[in-house]
Chain A
Amino acid sequence: MVETLEQFIPYPIIALVIHAALPLAVIFPYVLFAIWMERKVSAHMQDRLGPMRVGGWHGWAQTIADMIKMIQKEDIVPNRSDKFLFKFAPYLAFMGSYAAFAVIPFSSEYIGAHLDVGAFYLLAVTSVVTLSIIMAGWASNNKWSLLGAMRATAQIVSYEVPTVVAVLSVIVVTGTLNLMTISEMQSGSIFNWMIFHSPFLFIAFMLYFVSSLAEVNRTPFDLPESESELVGGFHTEYSGMRWGIFMLAEYADMLLVSLLGTVLFFGAWNSPFGDFMSGPVWGVFWMISKGMVFIFVMMWLRWTLPRLRVDQLMDVCWKYLIPFAFINLVLIALWEMLF
């Protein structure tokens, strides 16, 4: 991909920058769309209409209007906060999730970085988000923010374990950490998808999905920002565009875990109909649509379920998910040995 760009653009450095910025072309429209969709999904589940005015058709331009409003807002930094950390935290949050997009194969022709340790890199770099949350919570100089940040850190660190084990289950089957290779192994018929490989991989997917919900702080695991208890959690003191960037990072994280789930279990950019509608451009289409299905499920859950308490959250992780994940991993390894 970089080579193709370099043919058209005289300066290699510019080609590289464009190449690196390509995921943004997906993320920004996606975030605008996803927030609108979240509003619509919630509205229809709750017997209302949601945004209907801005832009004409079903309020499609609502999020764009909101974004413009947020940019215009005053940049409020609390008086006795740690100013540098406070300002830096939202960028770090987005940086963490954006860096992870580098190894997501959007289509058979486009992947940011062809890393051999792609899956490992992705899991490692998303942990930066934890750092940004605790920075935000600490720097705000607000006890509610601090409580939220503590919860978030405990939660994300704990739930990383079952996520990693669930990802590892796929790695055991594929034998590679390279996400592009994993995608290529699933091409051909729909039955090559990892989810159909063995019943244990199906369980692994369920484990992955549940723990990824906790990773991205979605209901029923949205404790870090639980508005009814902690006001707003770690982003209580944030407003305007800094808050907007936190939202951007949150939705980018949702897309990230959905895409990773797609790559690992649902055939990445492969068409579900074999050779029909397949190719590099269709690849992007399939990748995003599959991801959006998971995002819809996440929204569905969010507007249905109540929230767990912090100790129950930890129970779910350490007493159920982690043992299950490990047993499942052993069973997958056995399955691989026998068949």
Chain B
Amino acid sequence: MPELRTEEMVINMGPQHPSTHGVLRVELVLDGEIVVDAIPHIGYLHRCFEKHSESMNDYQQVIPYVDRMDYVAAMSNELGYAIAMERMLEIEVPERVEYIRVIFAELQRIASHLLAIGTYGLDIGAFTPFLHCFRDRERILDIFESTCGARLLYNYIWVGGLSHDVPLDFKEKVRDFVKYFPPKIKEYNDLLTYNKIFIDRTADVGVLPSEVALNYASSGPVLRGSGVNWDLRRDDPYSIYDRFEYDVVVGKGEMGTVGDCWDRYIVRVREMEQSIRIIEQAVEQMPDEGDVKAAVPKRIRPPEGEVYARTETPRGELGYYIISDGSMSPYRVKARSPCFVNLSVLPAISRGSMVADIVAIIGSIDIVLGEVDR
């Protein structure tokens, strides 16, 4: 029998594909169902955020643009930018503002992780956890809405303070949520995390060894999933994170190898528990009185110079590099996006897996294309 002629198939995944989490396009080279190569093509959501910022008349006006980078964790983006600018201007932020910021950043982390694990279930084929996650995310968004009127893009954290104060029943609402949420985590675990099929689909898939993760400069749950104990909140404290007690969750390879999709997933689930701990402490310590706009500068005209500040967003290390030429508008605003960096590991960890695994791997990296392309 003559040798059967086979050839590799190039298949285009995205930008309109249900599980590329937006408009990512991956060029897949397939041998049957085995992936020979996966080349991500980005740029479909490029909105010139950095260039736009340069033509803003005010540093404060950059914040709505920052919101639109990682649109499911806008609070964290704002926090990073505000911290960078405050360092540049050497502003001391009032105590109360710091606590509100931390509470919001952690609530945002939970909301973002809920979206991540919900859509991850969707990628694996389980539809129900997704809607359960959305149900609980809704409660966080309600808190945001009652505070700043917006549910997705807040423009709430300003340089030097906040756009306005929290509502009177804010503490109550947060306490309610803190009480409500932990039993729901158990529900997700029962429904998805420890489901045999889910473990089969994610354990030992897309293994990212710690050296590779470090070489690619990945951060956030992707890095911690590979067993690297690194969290900017603890290792390079900003705001008031050094006042709280919490653990940094790392992947241990419980179901398979360290750094597989399941590890990255479980890091997110457990980080939600830790965030709840931080929120609990922050609500207790938060002062009731204080003007949130006390330190907001009337006019921002920073001295010539540059600043780099990094924060831990739900997706990893978000850094802002801001150069000022002494005028009212920034000379350059560069964002070091965690999603963009994390996405770059995709080709390295997806070779040799199957088409269905690609979906699982992209989901476990948890990218937001708004931030990848900016």
Q: A residues bordering B, Cβ < 8 Å?
A: 42, 45-48, 143-144, 147, 151, 219-220, 222-223, 226-231, 303-312
Q: Which chain B residues border A143 with CB–CB below 8 Å?
A: 9, 11-12
Q: How far is the CB of A333 from chain B (nearest CB, A)?
A: 32
* A-B residue pairs, 7 tightest by C-beta: A307-B125, A46-B131, A306-B126, A306-B124, A228-B19, A306-B125, A309-B356
In the assembled complex, the Cα of A311 lies from the Cα of B200 at a distance in Å of 11
Between A and B, 8 residue pairs with Cβ closer than 8 Å are: A46-B132, A47-B132, A143-B9, A228-B123, A229-B19, A307-B201, A308-B200, A312-B200
In the assembled complex, the Cα of A141 lies from the Cα of B9 at a distance in Å of 14
Establish whether residues B131 and A309, one from each chain, have CB atoms under 8 Å apart when the complex forms.
no
Establish whether residues A309 and B132, one from each chain, have CB atoms under 8 Å apart when the complex forms.
no
Establish whether residues A311 and B11, one from each chain, have CB atoms under 8 Å apart when the complex forms.
no
B319 in contact (CB, < 8 A): no
In the assembled complex, the Cα of A151 lies from the Cα of B355 at a distance in Å of 12
Task: Name A228's contact: one of B11, B131, B132, B359 (CB within 8 Å).
Answer: B359
B357 in contact (CB, < 8 A): yes
Task: Name A147's contact: one of B33, B123, B200 (CB within 8 Å).
Answer: B33
- The contact size tier of chain B is 20 to 34
B198 in contact (CB, < 8 A): yes
Given contacts A220-B125, A222-B125, contact A47 B201 (CB under 8 A): no
Q: Which chain A residues border B168 with CB–CB below 8 Å?
A: none
Q: Which chain A residues border B195 with CB–CB below 8 Å?
A: 305-306
Q: Which chain A residues border B125 with CB–CB below 8 Å?
A: 219-220, 222, 226, 228, 305-307
> Told that A47-B132, A143-B9, A307-B201 touch, could you supply 11 new A-B pairs with CB distance under 8 A?
A45-B128, A147-B355, A151-B33, A228-B124, A230-B355, A231-B18, A305-B197, A306-B195, A307-B126, A307-B197, A308-B201
Establish whether residues A46 and B128, one from each chain, have CB atoms under 8 Å apart when the complex forms.
yes
In the assembled complex, the Cα of A41 lies from the Cα of B296 at a distance in Å of 52
Given contacts A147-B33, A303-B128, contact A310 B197 (CB under 8 A): no
Establish whether residues B126 and A227, one from each chain, have CB atoms under 8 Å apart when the complex forms.
no
B121 in contact (CB, < 8 A): yes
Of A42, A45, A48, A143, most B-chain CB atoms within 10 Å: A143
Establish whether residues B359 and A229, one from each chain, have CB atoms under 8 Å apart when the complex forms.
yes
B192 in contact (CB, < 8 A): yes
Task: Name B17's contact: one of A223, A226, A231 (CB within 8 Å).
Answer: A231
What residue of chain B has the Cβ atom nearest to residue A42's Cβ? B127
In the assembled complex, the Cα of A303 lies from the Cα of B191 at a distance in Å of 11
In the assembled complex, the Cα of A306 lies from the Cα of B126 at a distance in Å of 4
